[in-house]
A and B are shown apart, each in its own frame.
Chain A
Amino acid sequence: MDNSRPNLLEEALVEDGIGSVKIQKRGRVVVVEDCVETSAAFVLHHFLKRSLQPDSSDVVVFIAFAHPFSHYERILRKMGCNLAVQRKNQRFLFLDMLMLECPDRNGGEAKEDGLLTLYGEIEKAVEIYSSLEGSRTITIMIDDVSLMEVAANGSSNHVLDFLHYCYTLKEKCGCSLVTLNHEDIYSSANTLPLILQLEYLADVIIKAEPLATGLASDVHGQLTLLNKGSACDLGSSNSKVRNFHFRVKENNVDYFYPGTQT
């Protein structure tokens, strides 16, 4: 496979034409959603790799609730990106939140504490990075939001607050925000606000689903990508929905339209 050619996912992400690519590079909010049957973690890895390309100087702040560093390092190494080196070069900040607990015992305030300190760390990092020379995009990635809720002991309001804070960083410093969440969790009405608010704030929504016909060895699922676009000033909605199949490999992911796989 020719790696230099943009794949379908890349194409869909920079849909709006060549002229606006520069604008697109400014902060965007991407929400990735998956379900039990099909994991969308590979989309995160894709974003991670793209941000840490050697020819750019973009920075990633990665907030990991799901896996330890070694997991991501191994995956990204196979994709041709050494996270340990990037970490040394100050381009990759890994915040291990695997054991973060926000205990409930001292009432509501202690609960917020953990997330508050986490936000403090992120904000500090973003400020340092954006004060440095050169143009760079800072991407904040969260894997994943549902576990953050568990860490906050179920208070989705605190998680929402946290995400709104991160969102203001986008406005302030032009950060991008990439979050992974699980769509199938939010089926009942009282849990719905979180995912709806996330989707409302998002510029790009990527959903991974299994095929309706079940899993196959050569098609691992389908991606539905909604790009809300940035053409608000023209008045017309520019959002586009794309749908394609994917097959995850160790170093790469194949994207193709249904039925076009050779």
Chain B
Amino acid sequence: MASSRPRGSSFSRNISSAATSQIPGVKLGPNGTSFLSSGIPDLDQILGGGFTLGSLVMVMEDPEAPHHMLLLRNFMSQGLVHKQPLLYASPERDPRGFLGTLPSPMASKDEKPHERPAEQDSNLRIAWQYKKYLGEQNSEVQRGGKAEYCNDFDVRKPLERHFYSGQRVDCISLRDSPNLVPLLERCAAFSSQISKSDGNITCAGRIAIQSLCSPQCDFSDKDWDMLSFIRTLKGMIRSSGAVAVISFPPSLVSPTFLKRWQHLADTLISVKAIPDEHKELAKLLTGYQDMLGLLSVHKVARINTQVPAILEATTFSIKLRKRRALILECLNQAPVDGSSGSSYGTSSSCSGSSKTGNLDF
């Protein structure tokens, strides 16, 4: 369609449908970039389409809860579903064990993720929180394509065997080596295999590194080594068709180096657990009981453009729909109910009474 048109004017968009289908699981974005799905449909939507190909994504871990693993698992699972080459590194002794924890995609036909109103309602819609509908339409268009760009994953069901068969999954333990050279070599080999045919990207790859600076690794005290590793990795994947996701515990990095890490990241995300019984928060936010944690987006990759991405909200709640699929929702403030209102009243009356007491004597 679009490809048959002569490209005379520089204003025409040269997004051809052929280009999208060439690489499975890759979607074309603005400014000549392409996107790779994060494995969480909502996160893709928040980031404007997914992780930008060639970008470095950093996830700041919560020190107490493994929420970053949810992101890493979905990210890698999506790669397996799309049959993309994967590289996984972690400080565990047996990094292959991670593969056993990957979630399985849900059958998309019978379990539509969004419980949509019935079709006949579609022409009679009141523009109430209309942005919800905009997103829905987008995802519907995606789903129309033959290969789904982003699946919903069932976090309770392990990935079936057949997804692993014939797949290239490299696993490295960060514990074995005293420095980062072996990891860097593996990453270099990995990214050179992806971009083999003269700069043309034939398939997209995914690199996930879990807890890069965790104290189990021998190099965790070499701040500059780790920085230069991240920088080299960033330069490497920029020219190849890969996305690297690095998670790290920010509390273990000294403050000045933490800023450097953050500057190096193209996309910066942090996850936080929320305390189980936090009365104040529970009162403030609706649906507090269902929340697993909070996800904040600090930075969105700006490749080939100078315009910053301004998100409508930067903090989202992580929830499980039907205890299975991971979803992200904007935080909604709960309406002030009667009881809290009265508590304000009582507090003011308390202070009032004390004031009068002061005046009297």
Contact = CB atoms under 8 A, between A and B. Distances in A.
A220 B308 contact: yes
A75 B306 contact: yes
**How many interface residues does chain B have, given as a range?**
20 to 34
A101 B308 CA distance: 29
A71 B304 contact: yes
Interface in B19-37: 31-32
A70 B238 CA distance: 11
Query: Interface on chain B toward A: helix, strand, loop, or mixed SS?
Result: helix
Nearest to A36: B262
B305 interface: yes
A217 interface: yes
B307 interface: yes
A200 interface: no
Interface string B248-269: 0000001110011011100010
A188 B31 CA distance: 38
Given A74-B31, A216-B310, A150 B260 contact: yes
A252 to B, nearest CB: 10
B307 A249 contact: yes
Nearest to A100: B235
Contacts of A220: 308, 310
A250 B305 contact: yes
Q: Which of B235, B305, B310 neighbours the largest number of chain A CB atoms within 10 Å of its CB?
A: B235
Contacts of A146: 260, 263
A187 B256 contact: yes
A248 interface: yes
B304 A150 contact: no
A38 B307 CA distance: 11
B327 interface: no
B239 interface: yes
A14 B153 CA distance: 57
Interface residues of A, number: 36
B227 interface: yes
B259 A41 contact: no
A42 interface: yes
B353 to A, nearest CB: 37
B232 A101 contact: yes
A241 interface: no
B224 interface: yes
Nearest to B307: A248
B298 interface: yes
Contacts of A45: 306
A42 B307 CA distance: 8
Contacts of A37: 298
B285 interface: no
B348 interface: no
Contacts of B228: 101, 150-151, 153
Interface stretch (A15-23, A132-140, A178-186): A178-186
A185 B304 contact: no
A150 B308 contact: no
- 5 shortest interchain CB distances as A-B pairs: A154-B224, A98-B235, A74-B304, A42-B306, A185-B259
Interface of A: 36-39, 41-42, 45, 67-68, 70-71, 74-75, 98-99, 101, 146-147, 150-151, 153-154, 182, 184-188, 191, 215-217, 220, 248-250
10 contacts: A45-B306, A70-B304, A98-B235, A150-B260, A153-B228, A185-B259, A187-B255, A191-B256, A248-B308, A250-B307
